[in-house]
Structure 1
Amino acid sequence: MLKTTRSQWRPVPRRNSRAGCATCKARRIKCDASVPSCLNCSERNLSCPGYGRVLRWKEKHQVTQSTASEIDAVRNLSPNTFQNDAKTKELVGASRSDPHLNNGEKQYSPGTKFRAIPPLPTDDDSSSSSPISEEITSPSVALRGDSLVVRSAKSETIPLWPSHLRSLNDRTVLLMAHYFRKICVINSCFDSFANPFRTEIPALMTTSRLVQCCILSMSAAHLRSARPEWSFDSLEYLTAAVSELMIEVNAVLSGFSFSTSAGQRLDNALLGAIMLGMTTSWHPSSGLGLEHISGSRALFRTWIQYKFDDGRKNEDNWSRLNFYLGLHAYWEAMASFLIDQDPGQLDYLHVAFTIPPAQVVTVHPWTGVSAIPWLYLAKVGCLVRLKRNLTDLGVRGRCSVAKIAASEYPLKKLEEEAWTLAGQIMSYSVPSDEQIEDTFDEHTSKSHLRDLARCCQLAALLELQRSFDAVHEQQAVLAWISNSFGHAANAQNCTSLLYTDTIRELSLRILRLLSNVPTNSGTQALHHLPLLIAGSVLLPHIMKESPNAPLRIAMARSEDLKETAIFSTIDLWRKFVMDRLTSLQQTVNLNGHLKIRLLLQEVWARGDALTRDPQLLPAGYLHWIDVMEERGLQFFF
């Protein structure tokens, strides 16, 4: 009979996982691995993430640290983290202080000019950092307890979190880190400490829950495109932002008074409406955000009346007016090609022509060196849609309401407005390099910004020429190209040209300008609309040169032999457009660029089919707006 020892019957002790939940691991404390929630998370009223392995994700072909490590890195940020950052060598003290946390500090607002200071001295160069902390290019940021703070020029500590966010949770910290690391980059044509989305807009979080919800909403929506588990957060913050916007608007409408607090609420409501309108499309199945545009127009008119009707025309008001005007001009330019509306709806933007000319042009994150080219592009979009509805050139199933509205607009009046607008577009002069203020972004030069403004001019003229063709206007457009760029057709010989020759010339001018801008330029965030407009006419029946075209047009396309060798055919130009859109999609990581690619591919396929069988559809019917609506490829970002 076998004998058993006492040690053989000793029960095996249960061993808990050393990993624990992600929250305990991030805090570097022991986790009891209780189910469904560990004791540490329960005591702190935190949502326990569980004990599964934390997934890693790729960005730019590099595997970053896990979510828990990222949170730990953000919680250990210090001023030393940013000392060697090229974008934050000069720090900006930019924040509205919370009255509950920092009484008596100076209040800031959009458009405020901030004085740059050198980096804070450090006694310890061994501060811990991580890939996220090295990429967050905000002012000097640190965590003090549960408060994210900014150090200002006077070495004072300014809270960046409002009082209603005292209990800072890990997901909120990660969203803010993603905002500074990624959103500030893709949401502006330049990125440095001078970027308002990096300094002035986050500073308003200390006083505005609406701005705070908008920032967290867009950050979660962008994260969702790569990590679906953020979908709930993005919709939750979007819903909260809409609710906060309703509260602010109701406060403005009910007993608005010309007081400092009322003016601040008006600022918050206007900025929140714009941010919501421009980023709603980032969320899945949430529409394009165009439902906010009419309300934002009304708020902007109220803001102008409040700031300028009582003789308050100080420098700060002009600066803020220029900021809000740029946001609206870009928004209207994008929306004008998507909705049917009277061009008079945009008259409120004419305030752009009343702003006193500045000796130095401040670069705007959404419009570059000026809002005026984008305003012209917005008016062109309205006129083009009206013309296609009026002459029944659009999709046959287009809404009858749009056709009825267009029928009340005389064709002759429409054409007169179009060519008056064309003259205004050609009379606009792009600021010189000496007039443009430095952006402190090594990837975005002044020449890139000037080329962007020229592309907007050319794109507006291209759409006008495509919808309102007239011989005398062809002469004026080609003469303007000759004076502005050189090597264009002689205006005296333009009477023998087809209107497609002018369209082709405008399209290739846009693509040449964009081909000179590197893909790492910050201006590429605004290249999508010029790329679409210029790329949509890369069609055989348009790009085929007419037999009467003067030799100088052909010479213009061969001024650079290397360029001609690369881009001498339609296929190569199409490849260039697709490559740029692919680069944009990889950089920005939003669904809109994919829709533009699909839209252009469909337009090109139909254009190629017209070459094989011209009886399928008259050439004038093929326009990217019609294909977009027919295929449901509306985009907005």
Structure 2
Amino acid sequence: MSSKQSLSSKTSKSRNGCHRCKTKHIKCDETKPRCQICIAQGAECPGYAKQLRWSNKHEVYADRPKKRAKTGAETTGASYQHDHNATSPSKSPPDLASTNGPVQSTRLPASAEAAEVSWSMTEPYGFEDLGHSFMVPDLISPSWSDVQVGNAFLAGDFWGDHSADSAIDLSSILSPLQTDSSKRENGKRKATVPADANASSSSAGLLQTFYRMAVPGKVPGFSDQDLVSYYFDHVCAIFACFDSEMNPFRTWVMDRFGNDKTTSLTIQAMAGSHLANFYPHMAAMGIAKRSQAWKSLQHDLPSLKAGKTTADSVLLNLLLLGLSCSWNNSSGLGLQYLCIARSLVQIKLQKECGPNDEFILDALIYWEMLASFVDPVPMLPFSGIKSPELHIPPKPSPRMPHSWTGLASESIYILAEVGRVLRRRDKKGLVTKIDDEWSSILENALYAIEIPQPDDVVDYNDPKTSKVDLIAMAEAYRHIALLEIYRSNPKLLLSRVRDGTVLEDLNHLSLSVNEAYHDELDSMLARIAVHVIDTIKGVHISSGACKLLPLIVVVAGSQLKMPDNEPSNTEIHDAVLEARYVVEQRLTVMSRRYPQRPMSAMLDIVKEVWQRLDPRECESSRADTNAHWLDIMHEKSWQVIMG
């Protein structure tokens, strides 16, 4: 080693020298205007001006995240963990260390972790037409509902009277988390970049801060324990129409995930899939966990036959996996899980009722209703020459809402039958005689349903979801079932209006001449659809009842046909226009809280219906007055589970 090299290796790093000497960790003689070391080496001295770069290191947080002990995942890369002591309306999951079996850390491949996210290549999933700031759930505090929408119109009366809600502290949510590897790399060297590159990097950092986006390459990693915590802190609230200790998807899962490998893998898969809303790289983890859960479930089936596990445990995992199947892929219908669930429930129906049977059976009715619109093999009609009588027993009072059906179990069952009737139509949209009679029976059953009043509902201890919200959803489900029946069988509606026996809230329907629409049926269906949207638009976006909204806004939104003529009275024109705005904004905003892919697919379906329904300026291209969301969904192969 030369004396010069020995000298430079022993000298300490200068803090006041030129930028080149500091980068090379050599002693600068600080000669001005250029140091002698740079001149001796034939290099241009960059001078002594202080180099500035953007940093989030000293940002001030409203609520500084609490420190936590490092997990095993942090020894190999970045890992993020929730504050388990954060205040929550529901109890937190038990300590994972006490559960059977170690909690394994889930890591992406090293190449995937090291690669920076290319934001230009990230799929927008509905962000492209957003008219306000998007929302991200608080990864530090489990409080989700305190969301302040950027658009004042959306945050005000349009969404309900929730002006007292406070906004999420997004700066504490999306502060860049630097991996240990990047810290070590920064400690070894600080590469110089051209001035224009620095400017571009600064601009990107500023915009990412402005949009509250995670910095590419510095997104957090998540261990298995983090995913389980995320399920209980966030996914429970969006997977049910209310969330409290009365929500079986919280309490039942909490009792089982420590002893049931399939349940543990399933809730981790759901957490990873939902996190992909905000960290696209988490989609791969969600898919991998789902694959592991499916394999584990297949091992549970022989154990069920051998009596080593219970049917209720297997059915719980099927419910979780089936209704979250579209979270990774909007075309994932989960029918393979439904087929297994059907077989198990048919066996259960032949035995005495167990303590969980009512919850499981109502959940299966909801699942069958959603599947009735997308199942590639429609259910066959009743055999015989006459439809059977339909008797729906009333629910006992006071009534406990169901996590999926809320207070609309009866309407949802009838809607499942309506979906089957619609799927059995021929190419001209006509139904058989027996289905025609069955539609009339279903309509009478809908009229016989008694929607409970708030005093008739058990207090389920969810301050974010009022009883009025669930009652509004029950009303809306009854109306969309009637809407589909009347569209496929118009004579039933015309007869009701003529006899004056329509529901009380539909008394405004009449057979009088309407100048806005050529067809009186179009006018009445549009008015029913507007009434449905008016019923649900008072439900705040933070309410758990929004879980029931997707199918409502798709069915009602697809009947919002604009008037055929320039109306002299703009009342119906403005009402339809405003209702369309509500539908579009609801689906857009819900795609921020709920999984984005299915919500975006539903919005595509509704917009395609509107495009075909609206009058065309070109005479050679007439509007398709018979356009139906179900036909378009199957024509375009946009099948999606709307729940």
Normalised-by-shorter TM-score class: 0.5 to 0.7
Contact 2:406/2:470 (8 A) holds in 1: yes
CA apart distance, 1:9 = 5.8
User: Rg: which structure is higher?
Assistant: 2
Distance (Å, rounded) in 1 between the aligned partners of 2:10 and 2:93 = 66
Letter in 2 for 1:326: D
Match of residue 533 from structure 2: 511
- Describe how 1:193-208 pairs up with structure 2 within 5 A: 193-208=245-260
Alpha-carbon distance, 1:373 to partner: 1.0
Alignment of 1:403-552 (within 5 A): 411-470=432-491, 472-476=492-496, 482-485=502-505, 487-489=507-509, 498-540=520-562
In structure 1, the partner of 2:76 is 49
Whether the 8 Å CA contact 1:482–1:488 is kept in 2: the answer is no
- Give the corresponding residue for 1:325: 361
**Structure 1 residues 93-172: aligned runs within 5 Å:** 132=139, 134-135=141-142, 171-172=223-224
Tell me if the contact between 1:475 and 1:491 (Cα under 8 Å) persists in the aligned partners. no
Alignment counterpart, residue 241 of structure 2, candidates 157, 177, 189: 189
Is the aligned partner of 1:338 residue 2:374?
yes
Partners of 1:6 and 1:386 in 2: CA distance: 87
1:10 equivalent in alignment to 2:10: yes
- Equivalences for 1:163-242 in 2 at 5 Å? 171-242=223-294
Give 1:513 shift.
Answer: 0.2
Amino acid at match of 1:606: R
Deviates more, 1:332-341 or 1:534-543: 534-543
Distance apart, 1:502 and its partner CA: 3.0
Conservation of the 8 A alpha-carbon contact between 2:312 and 2:356:
no
The equivalent position to 2:600 in structure 1, one of 594, 607, 610, is 594
Q: Identity, % of aligned pairs?
A: 22
Residues 92 and 492 (structure 1), Cα distance of their counterparts in 2 relative to 1, 3 Å cut: farther
Task: Tell me by how many angstroms 1:609 deviates.
Answer: 4.6
State the 1:179 CA deviation. Answer: 0.7
**CA offsets 1:565-586 (integer angstroms, 9 cap, x no match):** xx82433221121111112112
Contact 1:136–1:180 under 8 Å retained in 2 = no
For 2:613, give the aligned amino acid: G
Q: 535-544 or 570-579: which moved more?
A: 535-544
Counterpart among 320, 329, 341 of residue 275 in structure 1: 320
- What SS does the corresponding residue of 2:245 show, helix, strand or coil? coil
Instruction: Describe the shift of the 1:599–1:10 C-alpha distance in structure 2 as closer, same or farther (beyond 3 A).
Output: same
Q: Cα distance 1:100–1:213, how it changes in 2: closer, same or farther (>3 A)? A: closer
Pairwise CA distance, 1:533:
0.7
Do the aligned partners of 1:511 and 1:531 also contact (CA within 8 Å) in 2? yes
**Distance verdict in 2 for CA 1:628–1:224, change over 3 Å:** same
Q: Give the 3-state SS of the residue equivalent to 1:568 in structure 2.
A: helix
CA contact (8 A) 1:196 1:365 kept: yes
Give the Cα–Cα distance (whole angstroms) in 1 for the partners of residues 12 and 490 of structure 2: 88
Which residue is 2:216 aligned to? Answer: none
- Measure, in 2, the Cα distance between the counterparts of 1:597 and 1:201: 32
CA-CA distance at 1:591 after TM superposition: 0.9
Show the counterpart of 1:404: none
Q: Which of the numbers 388, 403, 406 marks the counterpart of 1:365?
A: 403
Shift of residue 320, structure 1, vs aligned partner: 1.9
Give the secondary structure class of the aligned counterpart of 1:502: helix
Structure 2 contact 381–435 (Cα < 8 Å) conserved? no
TM-superposed deviation, 1:265: 2.1
What is the RMSD computed on CA atoms of the aligned residues? 4.2
- 8 Å Cα contact 2:265-2:290 kept in structure 1: yes
Q: Normalization by structure 1: what TM-score?
A: 0.65
Shift of 1:589: 3.6
- For each residue in 1:431-485, what CA deviation from the matched residue of structure 2 results, as whole angstroms up to 9, or x when unmatched? 1212111122222111111110111110011111111221x54332687875432
Which residue matches 2:586?
Answer: 580
Q: Is contact 1:248-1:265 (8 Å) kept? A: no
Partners of 1:613 and 1:217 in 2: CA distance: 51
Displacement, 1:414?
Answer: 1.5
Structure 1 CA distance, aligned partners of 2:361 and 2:443? Answer: 22
Distance, in Å, in 1 between the alignment partners of 2:565 and 2:446 is 24
Secondary structure at 2:614 match in 1: helix
Structure 1 residue 615, shift from structure 2 partner: 6.5
Question: Is 1:248–1:266's contact at 8 Å kept on the other side of the alignment?
Answer: no
How much has 1:419 moved relative to structure 2? 1.2
Shift of 1:49: 3.1
Alignment of 1:225-264 (within 5 A): 225-252=277-304, 254=305, 264=309
Contact persistence 2:235–2:271 (CA under 8 A): yes
Unaligned 5+ segments in structure 2 are 14-23, 26-56, 58-66, 103-136, 145-220, 383-387
The residue type paired with residue 605 of structure 2 is: L
Query: Using the alignment, how far apart are the partners of 1:344 and 1:185 within structure 2?
Result: 37
Read off the aligned partner of 1:439 and give its amino acid letter: Y
Q: Which has the larger helix fraction?
A: 1
The 8 Å contact of residues 412 and 477 in structure 2, kept in 1 or not, is answered as yes
Counterpart secondary structure, 1:197: helix
Give the Cα–Cα distance (whole angstroms) in 2 for the partners of residues 444 and 430 of structure 1.
17
Amino acid at match of 1:458: H
Q: Give CA deviations for 1:92-118 in whole Å, capped at 9, x if unaligned.
A: 9999x97999xxxxxxxxxxxxxxxxx
Structure with more contact order per residue of length (Cα contacts < 8 Å, sep ≥ 6): 2
Contact 2:265 2:292 in 1 (8 A): yes
Structure 1 Cα separation of the partners of residues 336 and 497 of structure 2: 36
Q: How far off its partner does 1:363 sit?
A: 1.0
Distance 2:543 2:500 in 1: 28
| Matched residue type, 2:494 | Q
Deviations 1:139-186 (A, max 9, x none): xxxxxxxxxxxxxxxxxxxxxxxxxxxxxx961111012112221111
1:575-632 CA-to-partner distances (Å, cap 9, x unmatched) read: 1211111121122142111111111111111112557548746522x11112222223
Matched length? 471
CA offsets, 1:286-340, max 9 Å, x none? 732122222211111112223x1xxxx5xxx3x5222112211221221111124
Contact 2:238 2:594 in 1 (8 A): yes
> Match of 1:619, SS?
coil
Cα deviations across residues 19-55 of structure 1 (Å, max 9, x unaligned)? 9xxxxx96469xxxxxxxxxxx6xxxx68434xxx6x
Structure 1: runs of 5+ lacking an equivalent: 20-24, 30-40, 55-67, 102-129, 138-168, 256-260, 395-409, 548-553, 559-563
**Structure 2 partner of 1:374:** 412
